[in-house]
Amino acid sequence: MQLAYTTEEQAFREEVGSFIRDNLPADVRDKVLNGKTMGREDYLRWHRLLYERGWVAPHWPVEHGGAGWTAVQRHIFEDECAEAGAPPVIPFGTTMCGPVIIRFGNDWQKQYFLPKILSGEHVWCQGFSEPGSGSDLASLRTKAVREGDHYIVDGQKTWTTSAHFADWIFNLVRTDPAAKKQEGISFLLIDMKTPGITVRPIVTMDGSAEINEVFFDNVKVPAKNLVGEENKGWTYAKFLLGNERTGIARVGASKRELKKLKEIASNEREGGRPLAASPRFRDKIAALEVELMALEITNLRMIAAMRGGKGPGPESSILKLKGSDIQQRLAELVMEALGPYAMPFQREAMEAGWNEEPIGPDYAAFAAPHYFNNRKISIYGGSNEIQRNVIAKMMLGL
């Protein structure tokens, strides 16, 4: 047992660090560090830089443009990027749809889509959830009927992150209404510009517009956009959700937020002294930091286990549970640190380029909205209740 990184791994960390220092655009970094609204182009500028360096989808097989890294290298890379304030690569193409196409797609799909996912030409979104099908995803009802060399898609997806700026959506659709619910589902790739698709934004309680409803009315999709076999979509979706779990602990991003929390707590005053000196508040930060340390090592243990070639198992639910909890607590403490100045609602201040005088300190505008927005982390990607069910069932056999 030994914790230190090898010399090669340390050299790799430095290589990544210096790449970020030399390339990450300052304004994008500022948006990430200060929690400002990010647009498509903000994500894509960094995406393209990573692409040019060959690092945009490091986990892909090398022949498709992956970096051939070990699990540890990938972790180092993600950690460095998050801590430095690089935006995450939008996961829908590189982490979700890409690996499904690589594993189950046909040759045309590989040749057409993979390079465009890598280059950032295509931004993807994920059309899984529906109004009636969230945790019980397999009950989904959006249907696709085969007509000649097309499918006709009708139905509705919801909570679809980034659908308002995505070029493509990967959809789970029902192709056999008679089969058992998991067995009649197919995995279909749909161009968002196809006639019959309507995207309607959903504003979340913090005032941001990152999710959408997507309506499909008689949408004609070429049959060659079907991934793998008809009615085998559930298998592919499970494969995809397994991939989604890597990096789910978000240790790097939480380290960055912890640093910010400490800065804010040092800057805010209580009774003339920094809030960071208040025993109650210090204790809360310290206790959270301990949790984060434990999660980092838990994460590393699972990554080390993957080094032996094992995929991420149900243990990744542990990472999702603790990771979401820590992210939510961090946002909560930032909001608490602001005291009464968490109250002013300054939505405009969250847009880049806003340069009026803020109400309270310049970090105040973000505190409460982030806290409200972060409640989503324990809901999406398999709610925390579902994660506990997975642990109970898959790990414990209960």
Partner 1 sequence: MDFDFSEEQRLLDETVRRLVKDEYDIVKRKSYIAAPEGFSRKLWARYAELGLLGLPFAESEGGFGGSAVETMIVMESFGRGLVVEPYLAAIVLGAGLVSLAGSAAQKRAILPQVASGKRLLAFAHGERQSRYALADVETTASREGGGWVLDGRKGVVLNGDSADTLIVSARSAGTSRERRGITMFLVDTKAKGVGIRGYPTVDGLRAAEVTLESVRVAGDAVLGEPDGAYPVIEHAVDRALAALCAEAVGIMETLNAVTLDYLKTRKQFGVPIGAFQALQHRMADMVVEHEQAKSMAMLAALSADLTDVAERRRVISAAKVQIGKSGRFVGQQSIQLHGGIGMTEEYLAGHYFKRLTMIEQSFGDTDHHLNRFAEVTLPAG
Q: Which residues bind partner 1 (CB under 8 A)?
A: 129, 132-136, 139, 158-159, 202-205, 207, 211, 268-272, 275, 278, 280-281, 335-336, 338-346, 359-360, 368-369, 371-372, 375-376, 378-380, 383-385, 388-389
Of the residues 134, 233, 247, 369, which one makes contact with ligand FAD according to CB under 6 A: 134
CA neighbours closer than 13 Å in the CB half-sphere of residue 35: 25
Residue 160's binding partner, choosing from partner 1, ligand FAD, none, with beta-carbon cut-off 5 to 8 A by kind? ligand FAD
Residue linked to tokens 């465009």:
116
Residue tagged active-site, from 244, 257, 268, 336: 244
Site for ligand FAD contains 379 (CB under 6 A) = yes
Nearest to 153 by CA among 172, 179, 166: 172
Q: How far is the CB of 111 from ligand FAD (least distance, A)?
A: 26
Q: Count interface residues toward ligand FAD (CB under 6 A).
A: 17
Of the residues 6, 111, 135, 266, which one makes contact with ligand FAD according to CB under 6 A: 135
Of the residues 14, 41, 283, 385, which one makes contact with ligand FAD according to CB under 6 A: 385
63 CB-contact burial (10 Å; exposed 0-12 / middle 13-18 / buried 19+): exposed
CB contact at 8 A, 363 and 350: no
Of the residues 46, 51, 124, 159, which one makes contact with ligand FAD according to CB under 6 A: 159
DSSP 205-248: TTS---EEEEEEEEEEEEGGGEESSTT-HHHHHHHHHHHHTTTT
Residue 72 CB: number of other CB atoms within 10 A? 18
Distances (CA, A) of 278 to 117, 255, 269: 49, 21, 9
Q: How far is the CB of 80 from ligand FAD (least distance, A)?
A: 26
- Measure the CA–CA gap between 29 and 42, rounded to whole angstroms: 9
Site for ligand FAD contains 142 (CB under 6 A) = no
Residue 203's binding partner, choosing from ligand FAD, partner 1, none, with beta-carbon cut-off 5 to 8 A by kind? partner 1
DSSP 153-202: EEEEE-S-TTTTT-SEEEEEEES-TTS-GGGGEEEEEEETTSTTEEEEEE
Of the residues 73, 126, 156, 324, which one makes contact with ligand FAD according to CB under 6 A: 126
Residue nearest to ligand FAD (CB): 134
271 CB-contact burial (10 Å; exposed 0-12 / middle 13-18 / buried 19+): exposed
Query: Cβ closer to partner 1: 99 or 323?
Result: 323
Residue 378's binding partner, choosing from ligand FAD, partner 1, none, with beta-carbon cut-off 5 to 8 A by kind? partner 1
Near ligand FAD by CB under 6 A, which window of 157-165, 247-255, 278-286, 324-332? 157-165
Residue 360's binding partner, choosing from partner 1, ligand FAD, none, with beta-carbon cut-off 5 to 8 A by kind? partner 1
The pairing of strands 197-202 and 211-222 is antiparallel
At 291, which helix (H) or strand (E)? helix 279-307
Active-site annotation holds for 15: no
Q: How far is the CB of 373 from ligand FAD (least distance, A)?
A: 8
Of the residues 95, 142, 156, 160, which one makes contact with ligand FAD according to CB under 6 A: 160
Q: Which of residues 190-249 bind ligand FAD (CB under 6 A)?
A: 211
CA angle 104, 109, 112 (to 5 degrees): 150
Q: How far is the CB of 274 from partner 1 (least distance, A)?
A: 11
Of the residues 263, 296, 389, 391, which one makes contact with ligand FAD according to CB under 6 A: 389
- Measure the CA–CA gap between 47 and 120, rounded to whole angstroms: 7
- Measure the CA–CA gap between 370 and 349, rounded to whole angstroms: 13
**Which residues lie near ligand FAD (CB under 6 A)?**
125-126, 128-129, 134-135, 159-161, 211, 376, 379-380, 383, 385-386, 389
Active site residues: 244
